[in-house]
């Protein structure tokens, strides 16, 4: 089965940097996803890591260590609009095209001025 | 920009009634999904659909649920006899590559 752990809540101030951690256990690995979800809205895709290392995309970066079952999402130059839930997700099965995502409970980030 | 559309945005139904939630996935996508999110809880996978058949389903997706792609554009989720605990936001998603695109959801309230 799958198990995904993330902190429940984090707080930060505008302009700061925050790192949201995710640990996971899967029966097979087929990549790790991060999604952003504002309250009452749909999840939107942020990043996908399948190889170890850091992937940078603007103010957001995502890191993966497959051997440690660990990922983090790094948000730089925080803005008020970054207040949202950040969802770590993995496919439940490796090597299956189109497999769905299993989501963690999400980390609710509150950015204050 | 192409998007996944869902209707209705809100649905209130009486316990025991049947509901059909509708989705129009992005036109060139191949894989379609339904997820649900009970208020304050995590996004949960229900079912995936590929090549006109169910490819995966979760334990939540029991005999009360069914999915259909009645034509080339629509993808529906039917709940045959709704229960109070079916109250949730239901999200449709579609994809071809790695990124799944989610619709804005249907908020289902069972009273």
pLDDT values of chain A reduced to their tens digit, one per residue, 113 residues: 679 999 999 999 999 999 999 999 988 788 999 999 999 999 999 999 999 999 999 999 999 999 999 999 999 999 999 999 999 999 877 666 678 899 999 999 999 99
Which residue of A lies nearest to B33 if distances are taken between CA atoms?
Answer: A100
Beta strands in chain B, from DSSP E residues, in sequence order: 5-7, 10-13, 19-24, 31-37, 43-50, 53-57, 65-68, 75-79, 88-95, 101-102, 106-110
Confirm if A12 and A18 have CB atoms less than 8 A apart. yes
Reading the block at residue A12, the tokens are 């930060």
Contacts of A48 in chain B (CB under 8 A): 98-99
CB contact under 8 A, B104 and A41: yes
What is the percent of chain B where pLDDT is above 90?
88
CA A61 to chain CA mean position, Å: 10
Residues 6+ apart with CB under 8 A from B27: B2, B73
Q: Which residues pair with A24 in a beta bridge?
A: A4
* pLDDT for position B104: 97
Comparing CA positions, the residue from B5, B3, B19 lying closest to residue B88 is: B19
For the segment A15-24, what is each residue's pLDDT rounded down to a tens digit? 999 999 999 9
Yes or no, beta carbons of A101 and B101 under 8 Å apart: no
- Which are the contacts of A82, defined by CB distance < 8 A and separation ≥ 6? A75, A109, A111
Burial (CB count <10 Å: 0-12, 13-18, 19+), residue B11: middle
- Nearest-neighbour CA in chain A from B78: distance (Å): 19
From B50, B91, B98, residue closest to A42, measured CB to CB:
B91
| Separation in Å, CA A100 to CA A30, A69, A103, B91 | 11, 19, 10, 13
Q: Does A91 touch chain B (CB under 8 A)?
A: no
Q: Under an 8 A CB cutoff, do A98 and B55 touch?
A: yes
Say yes or no for a CB contact (<8 Å) between A42 and B42. Answer: no
Cβ contacts of A42 on chain B, cutoff 8 Å: 91, 102-105
B58 within 8 A of B46, measured Cβ to Cβ: yes
Distance from CA of B68 to the nearest CA of A (A): 17
The helix (H) or strand (E) run that includes residue A59 is none
Considering only residues 31 to 90 of chain A, which have any Cβ-Cβ distance to chain B shorter than 8 Å? 31, 33, 37, 41-45, 48, 87, 89
Closest partner residue to B48 (CB to CB) among A87, A98, A105 is A98
């Amino acid at each position: 089965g799958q198990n995904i752990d993330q902190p429940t809540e984090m707080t930060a101030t505008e302009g700061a940097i925050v790192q949201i951690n995710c640990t996971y256990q899967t029966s097979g690995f087929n990549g790790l996803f991060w999604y952003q979800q504002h309250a009452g809205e749909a999840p939107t895709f942020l990043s996908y890591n399948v190889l170890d290392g850091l992937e940078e995309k603007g103010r957001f970066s995502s890191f993966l260590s497959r051997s440690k079952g660990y990922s983090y999402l790094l948000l730089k130059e925080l803005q008020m609009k970054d207040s949202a839930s950040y969802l770590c997700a993995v496919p439940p099965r490796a090597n299956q095209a189109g497999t769905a995502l299993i989501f963690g409970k999400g980390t609710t980030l509150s950015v204050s001025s | 920009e192409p998007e996944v559309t869902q209707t209705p945005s809100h649905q209130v139904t009486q316990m025991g009634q049947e509901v059909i939630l509708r989705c129009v996935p992005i036109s060139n996508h191949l894989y379609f999904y339904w997820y649900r999110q009970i208020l304050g809880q995590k996004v949960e996978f229900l079912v995936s659909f590929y090549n006109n058949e169910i490819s995966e389903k979760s334990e939540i997706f029991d005999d009360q649920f069914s999915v259909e792609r009645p034509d080339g554009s629509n993808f529906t989720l039917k709940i045959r006899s709704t229960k109070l605990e079916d109250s949730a936001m239901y999200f449709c998603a579609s994809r071809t590559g790695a990124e799944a695109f989610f619709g804005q959801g249907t908020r289902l309230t069972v009273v």
